[in-house]
Amino acid sequence: MFDIQTVRKDFPILKRQVNGAPLVYLDNAATTQKPRQVIDAITKYYETTNANIHRGIHTLAEEATAQYEDARKKVAAFIGAKDPAEIIFVRNATEGINLVAQSYVRNQCQMSGVKCQVLLSEMEHHSNLVPWQMIKMQNAECRMQNVESRFIPVTPEGTLDLSNLDALLDGVKFVSITHASNVLGTINDIKKIIEAAHRVGAKVLVDAAQSVPHMTVNVEELGCDFLVFSGHKMYGPTGIGVLWGRRELLEVMPPFLGGGDMIRSVRYNGFEPNDLPWKFEAGTPHITGAIGLGAAVDYVQGIGMDAMREHEQELTRYALKKMRALPDITIYGPKEDSDNTSILRSIEVLHQPVVRGPVIAFNLNGVHAHDVATLLDREGIAIRSGHHCAEPLVKKFGQTAMARISFGMYNTKEEIDILVAGLEKVRKVFTITPPNLLLL
Ligand SMILES: Cc1ncc(COP(=O)(O)O)c(C=O)c1O
Rounded Cα distance, 338 and 228, in Å? 29
Residue from 380, 388, 313 nearest 348 by CA: 313
Ligand 1 pocket check for 178: Cβ under 6 Å: yes
32, 92, 100, 127: residue to mutate for ligand 1 pocket, most atoms within 8 A of CB: 127
Residue from 159, 154, 185, 94 nearest 402 by CA: 185
Task: Compute, in angstroms, the gap from residue 283 CA to the centroid of ligand 1.
Answer: 24
Q: Is 389 a catalytic residue?
A: yes
Ligand 1 pocket check for 117: Cβ under 6 Å: no
pLDDT tens by residue, 111-120: 888 889 999 9
Q: Of 109, 116, 224, 389, which residue is the catalytic one?
A: 389
Which pTM was predicted?
0.95
Q: Could you tell me the mean pLDDT of each successive run of 10 residues in the chain, 440 residues long?
A: 96 98 98 98 98 94 98 98 98 98 92 90 98 91 84 97 98 97 98 98 98 98 98 98 98 97 97 98 98 98 97 97 97 71 40 77 97 98 98 98 98 98 97 61
**Residue 317 burial by CB count (10 A; 0-12/13-18/19+): exposed, middle or buried?**
middle
Ligand 1 pocket check for 127: Cβ under 6 Å: yes
Ligand 1 pocket check for 210: Cβ under 6 Å: yes
Q: Give, in degrees to the nearest 5, the angle at Cα 250 between 139 and 264.
A: 100
pLDDT tens by residue, 358-404: 999 999 999 999 999 999 999 999 999 999 999 999 999 999 999 99
**Residue 412 burial by CB count (10 A; 0-12/13-18/19+): exposed, middle or buried?**
middle
Task: Compute, in angstroms, the gap from residue 94 CA to the centroid of ligand 1.
Answer: 6
pLDDT the model gives residue 349: 38
Q: Give, in degrees to the nearest 5, the angle at Cα 135 between 130 and 141.
A: 125
Would you tell me how many other CB atoms lie within 10 Å of the CB of residue 369? 24
In the beta sheet, which residues pair with residue 356?
186
Segment 133-140 long-range contacts (CB within 8 Å, at least 24 positions apart): 134/101, 135/101, 135/102, 135/105, 135/106, 135/109, 138/106, 139/106, 139/109
pLDDT the model gives residue 438: 57
Ligand 1 pocket check for 125: Cβ under 6 Å: yes
**Rounded to whole angstroms, what are the CA distances from 55 to 45, 59, 60, 186, 194?**
18, 12, 11, 44, 40
Task: Compute, in angstroms, the gap from residue 327 CA to the centroid of ligand 1.
Answer: 32
Strand 359-364 with 402-406, pairing: antiparallel
Rounded Cα distance, 199 and 258, in Å? 35
Name all domains of the chain by residue range, CATH numbers in brackets: 4-30+304-439 (3.90.1150.10), 41-299 (3.40.640.10)
Spatial neighbors of 436 by CB under 8 A, at least 6 apart, are none
Ligand 1 pocket check for 209: Cβ under 6 Å: yes
Task: Compute, in angstroms, the gap from residue 127 CA to the centroid of ligand 1.
Answer: 7
Task: Compute, in angstroms, the gap from residue 291 CA to the centroid of ligand 1.
Answer: 21
